[in-house]
Structure 1
Amino acid sequence: MRFAFLTWLLPVVLALPQYNDGYQTVDSSTQPVQIRLSYQGPTAMMVSWNTFAQLHRPTVYYGLEPFFLYQVATSSDSSTYPTSLTYNNHVNLTHLWPDTTYYYLPAGSNSTVPYSFRTAKVAGDPTPFSVAVVVDMGTFGPLGLSTTTGVGAANPLQPGAHTTIQDISQQLHTFDFVLHPGDISYADAWLKEEIQQYLPNTSRVDNPTVYEHINNAFYDELVNITAYKPYMVSPGNHEANCDNGGTTDKTTGIKYTESICPVGQTNFTGYRNRFRMPSQPSGGLENFWYSYDYGMTHFISIDTETDLGHGLLGPDEGSPEFSGPFGLMNQQLTWLQNDLASVNRTRTPWVIVLGHRPFYNSAGGICTNCSAVFEPLFYQYDVDLYFCGHSHVYVRTAPVYLNQTDPNGLNNPRFTWYVVNGAAGHYDGLDTLQYPLMPYTQFAQDTDYSWSRFTFHNCTHMTLEAIASNNGSVYDEATLFKNRTCNDDSWKFPPW
């Protein structure tokens, strides 16, 4: 019996990752960098990372104990795109236990200890939880937002102030995962930074490299969050990756067109390669629209940039940022209606939608096409909250429908609650509120970089906190109450 056990154990031990003992030689071209996670349901987790060389079989070792990673998962998903400096690798870990801590390492890592993650709560689990939300966040430091700015930019970081990434990293214990609905890294702002004399001017040949350096710097900065907490994204206009088209250098009078943008910086190319959101299990499309359950909440990610439906095109039609469509006519709209209609509000009473552009705002930039398409469905299916960015300010509204404020406010409203917080940090600084503020506005600020946190206490109460990045303080807080009864215990016996 003992011999049989050792015969079984030996190949398992040989398959385990070899931790760096200080003498091991690591191949830097296949060493994992920019590790990131995304939910694929309560029993699956996508592990993604980048390497400087293509992997034949991306591999992840994982298990329930930190130094016994006895399970192995592989894939063939290792790809790149024109002008990219790295390869994107993705491995889906399946048949996991819900709400359970796992330890893992991608093959080739030189880490002396594994990373960890916790799987999602099953739908209906009434345990309180919190999520972090960040929008419009770019690279910090020499390639992005710092204590200095170029010509025309404003609101630099104050000396010694925390960046949003630093503050979220220090508060990992206060939330379960991160939502980032659009404008991720701002690598496409390289030309604007050169024109504003923040970055040195480069040749056309070197332009793609500048973009990729900014992009990689962002995900390197983010890894202390994304290697431990699932990072759920939605597309923003800057994921189209061509903000430079249409930019004018006022000094020289040169107006650049989209011809300056190489193929790797158009049509959401980097965004489509870097992430693997749970579109397949939810019937959605790539990283553009999808949904998933977490405990008592149903989360939905929508695409406000393309595929709006009803014949309405994305808000950037005619500009270099417009891309797609990626689906058939009305595909996203039909999917959203079916998804909302299928929600079991007894098991997941909260329905939260994330998108990039605002429907209601006090700093301009309202996406009227988005509102025309999505707002009637929000009303029909009683969506509790729509959270977005795009405007680099913080605006908390009252619940609204068709520009009318719900008379109940946050006390059991019939209308959807709208929140804008695009103040996470971009090289150009913050936007400016427009006074007088719109009548539905309850609180707004345009002076501090910030992120948000939502806490779902139970089936009736959910609290929003707006958090100043420089010191982690809560500068705005509000609680939404919905008068409903939740008594479904079937979540205790889920079909996994």
Structure 2
Amino acid sequence: MQIRLAYAGETGMYVSWNTYSQLTQPTVSYGKHPEDLTHSTSSNVSVTYQTSATYNNHVKLEGLEPGTQYYYQPQHSNVSKPFSFKTSRPAGDHTPFVVAVVVDLGTMGEDGLTTHVGTGAANPLTPGETNTIQSLQDYEDEYEFLMHDGDIAYADYWLKEEIQGFLPNTTLEEGAVVYERILNDFYDQMTPITSTKPYMVGPGNHEANCDNGGTTDKVHNISYTVSICSPGQTNFTGYRKHFRMPSAESDGLENFWYSYDYGMAHFIQLDTETDLGHGFISPDEPGGSESEDSGPFATMMNQQTTWLAADLAAVDRAKTPWVIVAGHRPWYISYANKSSAVCWECKDVFEPLFLNYSVDLVLSGHVHAYQRNAPMYNDQPDPRELDNPRFPWYITNGAAGHYDGLDTLSTPYDNYSRFAQDTVYGWSRLSFHNATHLTQDFVASGNGSVLDSATLYKEHGVSSGYGGGHGGHGGHPHARPSGRYWP
């Protein structure tokens, strides 16, 4: 159960799945034809933690052909036909492609977002409404892989949901079981997608521990802290055990920061929760804080920022002209309570590197709403906007959906906001057309409509391939080329 994939370089794929018993030698059979799984690879990685009901099994398939369809079957799978995946496009392949992006996506149904909420929560689904997981399934033939930039499942909401009357009350000891059940519900719900599409994840604050950094029962005047968490439900333990991201392939650190190439793009996942470097510790979230009992994970000061600088410096822009960075917390967002939402330390540490190495797009969430901003640096919009800007383009989309609903953005919006909405659940679709044009769409989960669409033009020192002017088509920088990837 809970089958999931992740890229392991151009010629590798991590295959992970869960079992109720520990496997002595987790094995994956695979091949290029569904009835001929002639190859097999094994590992010795079958790991669990206190309070977990299952074991996480991880096998790395190596020596695969890039851009190739494979069929596979994990050990003890009882499915009637094998699963399938497609390996990464090689760096330098400038064929158009699409990526799906979600942030802040939780369990759907009886343990999470559904057609009703408890006291104090908001924005339930309407009867029959398509939720984000279902929407991603509906469109999975259109995108190559799924990025999930933090806040995965929201199992740490179990106590809040009980206090608000959404879930029945349990003891704190039984709460550990509820926490694990919510995690398992989510991973099971995602399996139809993650068993065929690589699922590239990053850390968010809700992966830190079992209690969302603290919960208060106002009726009984009781405040709960991380001290209520059972062994195994602190310090990002479940997140660290459950996933395998390409950190070894990119000299990153576990599932916290890493990078990978895909065709014409270089993707970077950052950790905005811990290990920010330069002595910064986020005051209200993990960052090594004892109140969260989470991190740090680096062994050297500034390890993440040192890695980021080296990773960016090594990018071959002729092969991968696009550089995309994801990090859970934003710093450009129209939100009233910025002290709890914005990662100012991240801005101080990361933003100069983004400018210096010409990062194109920065994706975030954490605030449960959608806001597309202008390209930015040091609180100033780029005067060229999306027409070959020098500054990175910032988009926050935390509207994927979870039990607590959506956040309300603060109006009037900040001067850098170009489109914002806080009433609809949805996800982002990135369409890489060629070396110079990239479109980001906000897709409403409920009906698949595109509520916002914008195209970034960047020269990258390479030809657009259109002909006829600096943007092609008579020189208009945002002229739309033909092709199925353009909405």
SS at match of 1:172: coil
1:306 touches 1:322 (CA, 8 Å); kept in 2?
Answer: no
- Per the alignment, residue 389 of structure 1 pairs with 365
Q: Which 5+ residue runs of structure 1 have no aligned equivalent?
A: 1-32, 489-496
In structure 2, what is the Cα distance between the partners aligned to 1:58 and 1:132?
30
2:471 is matched with which residue?
A: none
**Among 338, 354, 371, the residue aligned to 2:347:** 371
1:382-438 Cα offsets, whole Å, 9 max, x none, are: 000100100000000000000001000000000010000001011010000101100
RMSD: 1.2
Looking at structure 2, the residues matched to 319 and 139 of structure 1 have their Cα atoms a distance apart, in angstroms, of 28
Q: Cα deviations across residues 198-240 of structure 1 (Å, max 9, x unaligned)?
A: 0000012211100000000000000010000000001000110
Matches within 5 A, 1:114-153: 114-153=82-121
Is 1:50 the counterpart of 2:21 in the alignment?
A: no
Shift of 1:197: 0.3
TM-superposition CA deviations, 1:261-298 (whole Å, max 9, x none): 11211100000000000000100000000001000000
Residues in 2 aligned to 1:476 and 1:255: alpha-carbon distance in whole angstroms: 41
The 3-state SS of whatever aligns with 1:399 is: strand
SS in 1 for 2:173: coil
**Correspondent of 2:311 among 325, 339, 346:** 339
State the secondary structure of the residue aligned to 1:265.
Answer: coil
Q: Deviations over 1:51-94 (max 9, x none)?
A: 01100110101000011100001000000001101000000010
Residues 267-286 of structure 1: pairs in structure 2 closer than 5 A: 267-286=235-254
Amino acid at match of 1:405: P
CA distance in 2, matches of 1:226, 1:257: 33
SS at match of 2:137: helix
Task: Indicate conservation of the 8 Å contact 1:307/1:326, yes or no.
Answer: yes
Alpha-carbon contact 2:265-2:322 (below 8 Å) kept: yes
Contact 1:53/1:86, CA 8 A, preserved across alignment: yes
Deviation for aligned residue 1:259: 1.2
Residues 97-141 of structure 1: CA distance to partner in whole angstroms, max 9, x if unpaired?
000000000011111111000000000101000100000000000
Q: Distance in 1 between matches of 2:144 and 2:282?
A: 32
Does the 8 A contact of 2:282 with 2:343 survive in 1?
no
My pick for the range that moved more, 257-266 or 310-319, is: 310-319
2:220, 2:130 → 1: CA distance? 36
Q: Residues 324-363 of structure 1, C-alpha deviation per residue, up to 9 Å, x if partnerless?
A: 1101210001000000001011111100001100020012
Structure 1 segment 72-221 matched on structure 2, within 5 A: 72-221=40-189
Alignment partner, residue 323 of structure 1? 294
- C-alpha separation in 1, matches of 2:410 and 2:103: 20
* Structure 1 residue aligned with 2:397: 421
User: Take 2:296 and 2:239, find their aligned partners in 1: how far apart are those partners?
Assistant: 15
Whole-angstrom CA distance in 1 between matches of 2:459 and 2:351: 22
Aligned counterparts of 2:147 and 2:214: Cα–Cα separation in 1: 30
Q: C-alpha distance in 1, partners of 2:117/2:185?
A: 18
SS of 2:232's equivalent in the other structure is helix
| Equivalent-residue separation in structure 1 for 2:320 and 2:115 (angstroms) | 43
For 2:375 and 2:213, how far apart are their aligned partners in 1?
37
- Paired with 1:244 and 1:440, the residues of 2 have a C-alpha distance of 30
Matched, 1:349 2:317: no
Match of 2:481 in 1: none
Match of 1:451 in 2: 427
Quote the Cα distance in structure 1 between the aligned partners of 2:416 and 2:89.
Answer: 35
Contact kept, 8 Å, 1:139 with 1:426, in 2: the verdict is: yes
The alignment's TM-score, normalised by the length of structure 2, stands at: 0.92
Change over 3 Å in CA distance of 1:332–1:177 after alignment to 2 = same
| Cα distance in 2 for residues equivalent to 1:347 and 1:250 | 56
Residue 452 of structure 2 aligns with an amino acid whose one-letter code is D
* Partner amino acid, structure 2, of 1:259: S
1:62 matched to 2:30? The reply is: yes
Which residue does 1:12 correspond to in 2?
none
**Is the Cα–Cα contact under 8 Å of residues 385 and 417 in structure 1 kept in the other structure?**
yes
How far 1:451 sits from its partner (Å)?
0.4
Q: Look up the SS of the partner of 1:206 in the other structure.
A: helix
Q: Secondary structure at the match of 1:397?
A: strand
Amino acid at match of 1:345: R
CA distance in 1, matches of 2:194, 2:131: 16
- Displacement after TM superposition at 1:486 (Å): 3.3
**Aligned-residue offset at 1:439:** 0.2
Q: Percent identity?
A: 60
Q: Is the 8 A contact 1:244 1:261 kept in 2?
A: no
TM value normalised by structure 1: 0.91
Amino acid at match of 2:148: H
Query: Could you say what secondary structure the match of 2:183 adopts?
Result: helix
Matched to 2:451, the amino acid is Y
Q: Which residue of 380, 388, 392 corresponds with 1:412?
A: 388
Q: Residues of 2 paired with 1:322 and 1:471: CA distance?
A: 41
1:4 paired residue number: none
Q: Which residue of 1 aligns with 2:475?
A: none
Query: Hey, what's the Cα distance between the residues in 1 that align with 2:293 and 2:379?
Result: 27
Q: Which amino acid aligns with 1:324?
A: G
**Contact 1:237–1:321 (Cα < 8 Å) also in 2:** no
Secondary structure of 2:85 counterpart: strand
Give yes or no for contact 1:61–1:104 (8 Å, CA) kept in 2.
Answer: yes
Matched, 1:477 2:476: no
SS of 1:467's equivalent?
strand
Indicate conservation of the 8 Å contact 1:459/1:485, yes or no: no
Shift of 1:485: 4.2
Q: How far apart are 1:242 and its partner, in Å?
A: 3.2
Work out the CA distance in 1 between the residues paired with 2:461 and 2:359. Answer: 17
Decide whether the 8 Å contact of 1:242 with 1:321 is kept in 2: no
Q: Which residue identity is paired with 1:325?
A: P
- Residues of 2 paired with 1:68 and 1:54: CA distance? 27
Q: Which residue in 1 is equivalent to 2:467? A: none
Counterpart of 1:360, as a letter, is: Y
The answer as to 2:436 corresponding to 1:468 is: no
Aligned pair count reads 456
In the other structure, the counterpart of 1:491 is: none
Asked whether the 8 Å contact 2:226–2:293 carries over to 1, the reply is no
CA distance in 1, matches of 2:120, 2:100: 31
C-alpha separation in 2, matches of 1:344 and 1:450: 33
